[in-house]
Structure 1
Amino acid sequence: MTATAQQLEYLKNSIQSIQDYPKPGILFRDVTSLLEDPKAYALSIELLVEKYKDAGITKVVGDRSTWFSVWCAGLRWRWA
């Protein structure tokens, strides 16, 4: 599945942008809003898995619990 412009726009709009956080000049992209939208969350996982399904990935390391939950959801599709 290749992402359409409409799908990418939907995902982009589901991510909250917070200006000047945590300090002036920073535009923080908060993916919490994406995770709270079941349609956006499912679409993001579907596109992520599609992009990397043939990359031979066997392990994933992350420094944030948010991304851990994203990859765990992706694993469902990998071994389904």
Structure 2
Amino acid sequence: MHLRDREAAVRRMLERTPPPVPPDLYPEVVRRGSRMLRRRTVVRRLLWLALFAAALAFAIWASFARPWAEPPSTTTPPISGW
């Protein structure tokens, strides 16, 4: 199909009258949309809660493990008796 043929087909489709919409479609769409929004909100809150719990667990682990401190040397014995 060439560009002109496609354009003509689209113009024909746009010139036609749209099909009638069923009257009970709007309440169903609103119900599904509100349910999707609630699910997204719950998922977003759970992800933020998981992120906060991971940050808190990391902070607690870091306060006990102190990964920034240099570990004691095990290759040379401590010097004493000078």
* Shorter-chain TM-score range: under 0.3
Larger relative contact order (Cα-Cα within 8 Å, sequence gap ≥ 6) = 1
Give the number of the structure whose residues are more often helix, by fraction. Answer: 2
Alignment TM-score, normalising by the size of structure 2: 0.24
Alignment TM-score, normalising by the size of structure 1: 0.25
Give the number of the structure whose residues are more often strand, by fraction. Answer: 1
